[in-house]
Amino acid sequence: MRRRRVNRVATISMHTSPLDQPGTGDAGGMNVYIVESAKRLAELGVEVEIFTRQTGSALPPVAEIAPGVSVRHVTAGPYEELDRADMPGQLCAFLSGVLRTEAMYDPGRYDVIHSHYWLSGQVGWLAKERWGVPLVHTMHTMAKVKNLLLAAGDRPEPPARVLGEEQVVEVADRLVANTSDEARELKDLYGAPDDRVAVVNPGVNLTVFQPASQGAARRRLGVRQDAHLLLFVGRIQPLKAPDVLLRAAARMLIEDPSLRSRLVVACVGGPSGNGLARPDVLVDLAAELGIADVVRLVPPAPQEELADWYRAADVTVVPSYSESFGLVALESQACGTPVAAASVGGLRTAVRDGVSGLLVDGHDPQDWALALRRFVTAPRWRDGLASGARAHAAAFGWQSTASRLMEVYAGALAHLHRMPVAVNS
């Protein structure tokens, strides 16, 4: 029987470009996931073309980011950042651009569509029908999960998104879940069939994120050598809960005022999502709590600088209300820095409780203060977690993610065409 090989994947990331700097706007872990997995797929001999919305008139129609990996900029709406709530209005224009691109080539250019986030899934659904190829979809976040775990003052996801996600779940040939917890949520909350859900753990760039001298990292970043550095990395929005870290730090200083001379709370990232309505929220909160002198706000950083922040820290704090995985936690551990994370979603996979870090139940600042205090007052215990963090992260590489994705693509093709598929040769 004829075997069909996966040669080219059309990756759809409508609302955020893989070229954007993670940590602000809509750019985050999903951007890292798309870029890193695409590069490793290309190393396996699969060409990846990433479709994203064009946000600047100076951007080229096509940009190569690595051998075998290109970004296609599709005109859909104004050349500027759009609020995610305005994105559904550009679905038709974006889809038209994707279909026009494929029409320029001979039939059968793409073997598989891989869409990321529900908006892209809507585009992938229609492209799948037109091209006759399977649709693989990764949610990254799910409205029903977010609405069950809302932060105080955060807005629930709208019914239109819930419906859109339900439609994508119904039509996708394969649904990629980052963890077994996410797979269970897809099945329980969205009715996804068991045989169409595949668990593929994200990875970490073990070349960029690796242990190195904490002292040297602190010198480069201008951090005192004797500092107790608590680090937050991510977008500044209620979902990510950086306020929990600040409130916990304030409790720590109330309980032990002697910490003030050495405590540093660094937040690396920019406002995003609902956080755009209050871009100075952390400045205001630090002043309100009386800890402005220990808080250091840093704009989003490229990977090499970010790795230094992880190495410089005593602990990386991930207090999110929900996470499909939590790449920040994995990056920190790869650098040898343990993590204190909320015991939610994919963080329960990304962090081994008591081995590579701590999982904290709930978001009570007092509970977080107790957990974080151990990292600054029990150095031998912290060093043991640092060793566990390095070992835990070493098991997550993007190469294994790409290999697993190839198996998923093959399964999606077989599901659609009912024929054996060559993963690679």
CA distance 422 to 407: 9
Summarised one tens digit per residue, pLDDT across range 291-336 is 999 999 999 999 999 999 999 999 999 999 989 888 999 999 999 9
In order of their start, the domains of the chain are: 8-203+398-417 (3.40.50.2000), 214-394 (3.40.50.2000)
> Given the structure tokens 């077989």, which residue do they identify?
414
Is 139 a known ligand-binding residue?
no
Helix (H, G, I), strand (E, B) or coil at 270: coil
| 68 has binding-site annotation | no
**Burial class of residue 226, CB neighbours in 10 A (0-12, 13-18, 19+):** exposed
**275 annotated ligand-binding residue:** no
Among residues 11, 6, 107, 22, which one has the least CA distance to residue 52? Answer: 11
DSSP state of 230: E
28 assigned to a ligand binding site: yes
To the question of whether residue 240 is assigned a binding role by annotation, the answer is yes
Residue identified by tokens 């709406």 is: 77
| Residue 390 annotated as part of some ligand binding site | no
22 is in an annotated binding site: yes
- Would the annotation count 81 as a binding residue? no
Q: What string of DSSP letters covers 165-206?
A: HHHHHHH-SEEEESSHHHHHHHHHHH---GGGEEE----B-T
Q: Is 224 annotated as a binding residue?
A: no
Determine if residue 117 is labeled as part of a ligand binding site: yes
87 among annotated binding-site residues = no
Question: Over its length of 425 residues, how does the chain's per-residue pLDDT go in tens digits?
Answer: 344 689 999 999 998 888 876 656 566 778 889 999 999 999 999 999 999 999 888 889 999 999 999 999 999 888 777 777 788 889 999 999 999 999 999 989 999 999 999 999 999 999 999 999 999 999 998 999 989 988 777 889 999 999 999 999 999 999 999 999 999 999 999 999 999 999 999 999 999 999 999 999 999 999 999 999 999 999 898 989 999 999 999 999 999 999 999 999 999 998 765 555 576 899 999 999 999 999 999 999 999 999 999 999 999 999 999 898 889 999 999 999 999 999 998 999 999 999 999 999 999 999 999 999 999 999 999 999 999 999 999 999 999 999 999 999 999 998 776 645 555 54
Q: According to the annotation, is 29 in a ligand binding site?
A: yes
Cα–Cα distance, 217 to 192 (Å, whole number): 45
CA distance 248 to 329: 19
Q: Is 313 annotated as a binding residue?
A: yes
Whole-angstrom distance, CA of residue 335 vs CA of residue 312? 10
Strands 62-66 and 69-74: antiparallel
> 55 among the known binding-site residues?
no
CA distance 46 to 371: 45
Query: Which 3 state secondary structure label does DSSP give 65?
Result: strand
Q: Residue 26, annotated ligand binder?
A: yes
Residue type, 57: S
Tell me: is residue 106 an annotated ligand-binding position. Answer: no
Task: Report how far apart the first and last C-alpha atoms of the chain are (Å, whole number).
Answer: 17
**By C-alpha distance, which of 128, 177, 50 is closest to 415?**
128
Q: Is there a binding annotation on residue 187?
A: no
**Matching residue, tokens 């500044």:** 236
pTM of the shown model? 0.88
Question: Is 190 annotated among the ligand-binding residues?
Answer: no
* 260 annotated binding-site participant: no
Q: What is the pLDDT of residues 139-178, one digit of tens each?
A: 998 999 989 988 777 889 999 999 999 999 999 999 999 9
Which residues sit opposite 176 in a β-bridge?
Answer: 138, 198
Consult the annotation and say whether 178 binds a ligand.
no
The whole-angstrom separation of Cα 111 and Cα 108 is 7
